[in-house]
Amino acid sequence: MSTAETEVDVRRTPGLVPVTETMRTVEREPGAAPAGPPAAAPPPSRPVAAFWRLLGSELGLTFRRPRNQVMLAVLASVPLLIGIGLRIAAGDEAVGGLIGAVAGNSLMLTFVSFSFLVLLLMPVSVAVVGGDSVAGEAGAGTLRYLLAAPAGRTRLLAVKYLNAVLFAYAVTIVVALSALVTGLVLFPVGPVTLLSGSTVSVAEGLLRILVTVGYVGAGMAALAAIAVALSTFTEVSIGAIAATMVLVIVAQVIRAIPQLDFLAPYLLPTWWTRFDAVLRSPIDLAALGQGLLVFGAYIGLFCSIAWARFTGKDITS
Amino acid sequence: MTVVTHEAGAPSGAAPPSGDPGDAIVTHGLTKRFRGGQVAVDALDLTVPRGSVFGFLGPNGSGKTTTIRMLLGLVAPTAGDYSVLGMPLARALPRVGALVEGPAFYPYLSGEANLLRFDAADPTAAGATARTRVGEALERVGLSAAAGKRFRNYSLGMRQRLAIAAALLGPRELLVLDEPTNGLDPQGTREVRALVKEIAADGTTVFVSSHLLAEVEQMCTHAAIMRTGNLVAQGTIASLNGGLTTRIRVETPDAADAARVLDALGLADVRSAAPEVTAELGGQAPEEINAALVREGVAVRGLAVVRPSLEDVFVGLTGEGFDVDG
């Protein structure tokens, strides 16, 4: 800055001066600046760095926001409650089934926690962040200033979606970590007995938890795509959040009706619960792969809808 | 990087619409028809010369904000084209500071954090200098002391100032200020006016919309007048006023006598409406008219030289009072 200020255009005051970059801009693009008026802001010299900076700003907003922190805290507390409940239940006498499986091995609590959370609480928190992404900015009026900055519509949407995906993974990781720590404290550590009846080592068990986190996170990222797409259609974030949750609940109702079974393979919740494929021996990669394909299809479809809507929309808020 | 696409001007690659490259803003037949058929802006041909302080006047609802939203790429025009700073919009916008329809910030962030957020959205702004530039912008509008305070706790005037600070974050060639004195107390209004003058003195073009005629007259070198989506007039303040003549107004109980005297002095367009008589001043000296009136025994209670104001221009052009609008 200090060298720059010596080259300041004398017609401007320090606060407004483009410093040395002004000079470089003119040199780099001789035809760009019309004669007479001074050239100003440099062109996007490092678009990648600028993209990460905007994403960083977005992540800062998301993770520093008290509402989102509370959601993460609630999600972290659920495995703890489940763990304590199971510990009490298992303390009475030797029990089989689910309680027995968890009581017998600390790592199982992670899978049990996911099966409790993956259908409602995790989708709610992802829907809140995704549904708020564009609609929240529009409702607050900050969207017009971001776009006039100019953030660029495609660029802003990409940042918003990436942010929602990262939050979805944060949610998944928080649940897994909380369950893992709770499990290690309350239950014995040892080889994990799978649904197929065979056992794997603790290291292998941890690896399978990692695979589960990757898979469930992708499932939540697919929901985030729906939420962000709906978010581009309204200026009221609660509307986009509620609409996303309605879709999740309707999908679960459809799954509960036997006559509508043929629809189940097209619904996200069907595939969210398929993470139990990691508890087969060997891991049911076909099921996981098919789930990931469905998630990918949802992401592709809803990101396209969001893009088409957002890039063609009049911002009147 | 798509900013806006519309039939007339692709955001990049396309040649800017014709016009003097020295103009900060040029529009040709710019039209916006909202869904439902309401025409907000109708075939607007606007030319804002570089270096001017351009007053964009019109009653509330006359299409000023819609025009500004089109210029910033927020709203796509239904027809017509425009160019900002003579270059594609995506390249022009980083050089444009904007205040659109009042301040809008994140209530749970501090003033400084809010500005950093908007600075991060500009792909041409360097992150390394962000804090310095934010600090300078805050100082410029007198908010340094409140930099760490949450926006939620800002007063109306502080919010407005923060919005102006956001418009001053980078090196700007054009500043678009939509109703910048809204919600400000008289002291704040004076400060904004002083700031606009200072910024203009630096060579930055300032495009300021207002529904306050007096404000524009005090700040601006040029003006355009909008009415229900149409441009009624544009030009320098002097040329807009030029169409009207300076008049003399005499307040007197003897209106008939006064009118006779003014007539005898050769003043044109004498109008009598007791207790006032007005006439075009022409080249005559007001003090001599006063002396003549007194000589003729007309009781003069008040005498004033009435220079034409933009309001008169507006009334003359539209036949309506300025504040009347639907």
| Per-domain residue ranges of chain B | 23-241, 244-314
User: Do the beta carbons of residue B19 and residue B62 sit within 8 Å?
Assistant: no
| A2 and A103 share one domain | no
Is A317 inside a domain boundary? no
| A159 and A15 share one domain | no
B25 has a chain A CB within 8 A of its CB: no
User: Do the beta carbons of residue A153 and residue A147 sit within 8 Å?
Assistant: yes
- Domain B23-241 CATH (choose: 3.40.50.1820, 3.30.2020.10, 3.40.50.300, 3.40.50.2300): 3.40.50.300
Is A316 inside a domain boundary? no
Q: Are strands B276-280 and B247-251 parallel, antiparallel or unpaired?
A: antiparallel
Is A79 inside a domain boundary? yes
Nearest by CB to A41, from B124, B139, B202: name it: B124
User: Do the beta carbons of residue B33 and residue B188 sit within 8 Å?
Assistant: no
**Which sign, positive or negative, has the C-alpha torsion A92, A95, A99, A101?**
positive
What strand order describes the sheet that includes B230-236? B96-99, B174-178, B205-210, B53-57, B222-227, B230-236
| A222 and A247 share one domain | yes
| A275 and A146 share one domain | yes
Q: How many CB atoms lie within 10 A of CB B251?
A: 17
Per-residue pLDDT of chain B (326 residues; tens, 9 = 90+): 333 334 333 333 334 444 456 799 999 999 999 888 889 999 999 999 999 999 998 888 889 999 999 999 999 999 999 999 999 999 999 999 999 988 999 999 999 999 999 999 999 998 899 999 999 999 988 899 999 999 999 998 899 999 999 999 988 999 999 988 887 888 888 888 888 888 899 889 999 998 888 788 888 999 999 888 999 889 998 888 776 678 888 998 888 888 888 888 888 888 888 788 888 887 788 888 888 889 988 888 888 888 777 777 777 776 665 554 43
| A21 and A74 share one domain | no
pLDDT digits (tens, 9 = 90+) for A89-137: 877 665 666 667 777 788 889 999 999 999 999 999 999 999 999 999 9
Nearest by CB to B173, from A37, A42, A154: name it: A37
| A22 and A121 share one domain | no
Q: Do B22 and A37 touch (CB under 8 A)?
A: yes
Amino acid at A56: G
d(CA A129, CA A132): 5
* Tokens at B304, concatenated: 């004033």
Element (H, E) at B18: none
Q: How many CB atoms lie within 10 A of CB B309?
A: 14
Is A307 inside a domain boundary? yes
User: Do the beta carbons of residue B165 and residue B143 sit within 8 Å?
Assistant: yes
Quote the number of domains for chain A: 2
d(CA B216, CA B210): 7
Domain that holds residue A245: 49-311
| Chain A residues with CB-CB distance to B76 below 8 A | 312, 314
Residue that terminates a domain, selected from A28, A43, A58:
A43
Q: Do B204 and A154 touch (CB under 8 A)?
A: no
| Chain B residues with CB-CB distance to A140 below 8 A | 104-107
Name the minimum distance, in Å, from the CA of A76 to any CA of chain B.
Answer: 24
CATH number corresponding to B244-314: 3.30.70.100
| A207 and A280 share one domain | yes
d(CA B194, CA B162): 16
d(CA A189, CA A203): 11
Chains A and B form CB pairs within 8 A to the count of: 165
ipTM over 0.95: no
Which three-class secondary structure string do you get for A7-38? CCCCCCCHHHCCHHHHHHHHHHCCCCCCCCCC
